[in-house]
Structure 1
Amino acid sequence: MSVVLALALRLLPPCVAVLLGYVAGGTAVFARRPDAIAALNGYVLYVAFPLLIVLGTADPSHAVPTHPAFYLAHLALFAAWVPALAILGRSAGSVRDELGAIALGAIFGNIAYVGLPFIVSVLGDESVGLASVGVALHVALAMTLGPALLLRWQGGERRGLALVARRLVRQPLVWAPLVGLLLRSLPASVLEHLLPPLAPVAASAPPVALFMLGLYLRANTTALRSLDAPALVLSAGKLLASPALALALAWPLWRAGLIDALEARVFVLLAAVPTAIAAFSLAHELALGEATVARGIVLTTVLSLVSLPLVGALTLALIA
């Protein structure tokens, strides 16, 4: 019960930020909502979120996982999504038409704003280092595979891998983990003066992104009034299929001694978080699947109040 309450309290601020954005979108201050959304999206996607990831990976006090299987498990988890989604794409109707948005929303989890606090609250401070490295891996892989599948399956035209690669190279979120790891090698005396001034901007990423989502919901009330099949499939993939795949990978690796229990738990819990707000920023940037991703973010965030404690309890029971 305490875990459920702790998670509910952690998810309350995101819900409030979305609500404030929705209400503000109806005022004269934000009468030109498309312009406001575009400006906030640029700030979140190209400034604040990259800094958030840089600071999360640059802290030298965070221990790096020692087992190679921890890194390989992340690669295997994301690789498993491709054939699974391709099979789903054989279905007819709206699910097939929105397959790229489903892929982006199911792959890209809210690991920074929800994942890290939740993991630390469940596993303790000793998990901070492992979770931070897991966040960096998740961001790098999700930022590569998610937009690539969105463009490939839902671009309205056949876009080559070269175009996908060029778009990804221009995304700061792809490079942010690498920049953070490079900064880790600097002397502590340099980092203690370099990182703190960046912290306020980095900390603004989640609330600004959530406020922007509220504006978008207000601007698209008609389109977002009802949940449809793509949003439901996205939510099932993110909250059910993703942690199930992660557990299916982590449990045998732990039993074989290839990763320790803490690494296995961190890996599974990172896979169980709701869809990232940054996924909406990416969909908006590419002008593809925005409505489906926005619905998925709202639905998975609400449902995670129940799903995260359940996955956490199951993970702790199976990986003791």
Structure 2
Amino acid sequence: MTYIILHALAPIFVIMLLGYYAGKAKMVVNSNVSLLNVFVMDFALPAALFSATVQTPWKGIISQSPLILLLVLSMWIAYAALYFICTLGFKKSPQDAAVLTLTVALPNYAALGLPILGSVLGESSATSLSVAVSIACGSVLMTPFCLLILEREKARASGESHGSTLMLLPLLMWRSVKKPIVWGPLLGVLLSACGVKMPEIILASIKPLGLSATASALFLTGVILSARKLKINAPVLLSCLTKNIIQPFITIGLLYAFGITGPVAVTAVLMIALSAGFFGIVFGNRFGVQSPDAEATLLISSILCIITLPLFITLSAGL
């Protein structure tokens, strides 16, 4: 099992290391990666998320309702708790806290979901569906929270905002929804719900973009890391503890609360037990928000996953 986990994590470290080297060697200007960020945020990731959601049968999504409930609650609880601790306890800015908490709350479904779940439950259409549903949950029901906060603070900084967040909510929601990273997967879900089958030529046309999404996002993350000096502090330690230990136990608690067992329970625990994802860092960079703590959390969480994931694989076997 350790070999399987290392095999799944290896591409993450290798691609980030390549990005880190490119930044350090000045092959890419690591202080200004706006062009690369536009490609990742507005083209590659939206294409990947749209393809994943539009090809997920609506009946399959409905059948995965218990999994959706568990994933969403686990992500929301971790996000809300850590966000308030970061802003009230550690006195972080809302932008920094939003980026850090999204990095923690949204696991790396895209890169690790299929290899880990497939190795435990076996590679099948049901496994692929569970991973696709997990990705859809994160992109449609998690990322807008971070975007709303980033848009709110951007509006306040530019002097556009003088009212309460509640008054600004319609404008902020519109600004978030119109971004490809949000409407891409949302459109895919809506088309799937309406029973619309995308022409094969369209899916084939955007497939190369989708295939490049994870790699380009990890490469961009490496470039961003090359411009920082990583530090381990209290927020980083708490974030890693939350991601690798507390959040999976939240999921286990929800399983007992709802009385859910079997493959759905195993899938939920394993998906949430994955290491921190890169979405928060990429989102933050697009808004000019630097979060060294989020970057450190991403690296340390990925390393700790080698130890913690086998623990939760063992615990999930009894569910």
Which runs of no fewer than 5 residues in structure 2 stay unpaired?
Answer: none
Query: Aligned ranges for residues 186-225 of structure 1 at < 5 Å?
Result: 186-187=196-197, 191-220=199-228, 223-224=229-230
1:190-213 C-alpha deviation (Å, 9 max, x unpaired): 543331232211111111111112
Greater CA deviation, 143-152 or 92-101? 92-101
- CA deviation vs aligned residue, 1:85-117 (integer Å, no higher than 9, x gap): 335644256699954343222222211111233
Q: Say if 1:58 and 1:83 are closer, same or farther in 2 by CA, change over 3 A.
A: closer
Q: With the length of structure 1 as denominator, give the TM-score of the two structures.
A: 0.83
1:9 match: secondary structure: helix
Indicate yes or no: 2:155 matched with 1:145: no
Q: 2:70 aligns with which of 60, 70, 73?
A: 73
Q: Output the amino acid matched with 1:169.
A: V
- Farther-moved stretch of structure 1 (95-104 vs 177-186): 95-104
| CA deviation map 1:134-185 (0-9, x unaligned) | 2211221211223445667999868735254244223322222222234443
Kept in 2: contact 1:100–1:153 (CA 8 A): no
For 2:312 and 2:134, locate their aligned partners in 1 and report how far apart those are by CA, in whole Å: 18
Are residue 34 (structure 1) and residue 39 (structure 2) matched? Answer: no
Aligned Cα root-mean-square deviation (Å): 2.9
Structure 1 CA distance, aligned partners of 2:78 and 2:100?
Answer: 11
Measure, in 1, the Cα distance between the counterparts of 2:301 and 2:196.
Answer: 39
Q: Counterparts of 1:154 and 1:261 in 2: how far apart (Å)? A: 45
**Comparing 230-239 and 62-71, the one that deviates more:** 62-71
Partner AA of 1:19 in structure 2: L
- What is the match of residue 46 of structure 1? 42
Q: CA-to-partner distance for each residue in 1:262-297, whole Å, 9 max, x for gaps?
A: 222222222122221122111112223422221111
Q: Give the partner amino acid of 1:52.
A: A
**Distance in 1 of aligned mates of 2:12 and 2:288:** 24
Moved more, 70-79 or 123-132: 70-79
Flag the 1:263–1:312 CA change in 2: closer, same or farther, 3 A. same
Q: Residues 236 and 136 of structure 1: is their aligned pair in 2 closer, same or farther, counting only changes over 3 Å?
A: same
Q: CA deviation at 1:5?
A: 0.6
Counterpart secondary structure, 2:274: coil
For structure 1, which segment, 104-113 or 76-85, has the greater mean C-alpha deviation from structure 2 after superposition? Answer: 76-85
| In 2, Cα distance between equivalents of 1:247 and 1:154 | 37
- Distance in 2 between the 1:316 and 1:297 partners? 27
Indicate the residue corresponding to 1:114 in structure 2. 112
* 3-state SS in 1 of match to 2:63: coil
Contact 2:75–2:106 (8 Å) recurs in 1 = no
> Do the aligned residues in 2 keep the contact of 1:230 with 1:292 (CA within 8 Å)?
yes
The alignment partner of 1:29 has SS state of coil
Change (3 A) 1:60 1:191: farther
Shift of 1:245: 1.0
Q: Contact 1:99 / 1:153 at 8 angstroms: preserved in 2?
A: no
Aligned equivalents of 2:9, 2:238: Cα separation in 1: 22
Question: Distance between the aligned counterparts of 1:307 and 1:207, measured in 2?
Answer: 24
Partner of 1:264: 265
Query: Could you say if the C-alpha distance between residues 286 and 97 of structure 1 is closer, same or farther in structure 2, counting changes exceeding 3 Å?
Result: closer
1:156 and 1:103 mapped to 2: Cα distance? 21
The 1:150/1:262 distance shift into structure 2, 3 A limit, reads farther
- For 1:260 and 1:174, the matched residues in 2 are separated by 32
1:216-235 correspondence to structure 2 within 5 Å? 216-220=224-228, 223-224=229-230, 226-235=231-240
Question: TM (normalized to structure 2)?
Answer: 0.83
8 Å CA contact 1:243, 1:268 repeated in 2: yes
Q: Is the contact between residue 155 and residue 288 of structure 1 (CA under 8 Å) also seen in structure 2?
A: no
Cα distance change of structure 1 residues 174 and 60 upon mapping to structure 2, 3 Å threshold: closer
1:172 aligned partner: 180
Residues 25 and 215, structure 1, Cα contact 8 Å, conserved in 2: yes
1:58-107: per-residue Cα shift (whole Å, max 9, x none)? 22569334264443334433442365233564425669995434322222
| Pairs aligned (count) | 305
Partners of 1:248 and 1:67 lie apart in 2 by 19
Give distance in 2, aligned partners of 1:112 and 1:123: 17
Match of 1:248 in 2: 253
> 2:316 — aligned with what?
315
Residues 219/78 of structure 1: CA separation in 2 closer, same or farther (3 Å cut): closer
Q: Is the 1:65–1:133 contact (alpha carbons within 8 Å) kept by the matching residues of 2?
A: no
Aligned sequence identity (%): 24
* SS of structure 2 residue aligned to 1:64: helix
Partner of 1:71, secondary structure, is: helix
How far apart in 2 are the matches of 1:142 and 1:216?
23
- Change over 3 Å in CA distance of 1:141–1:97 after alignment to 2: closer
Match of 2:304 in 1: 303
Contact preservation (8 Å) 2:255, 2:261: no
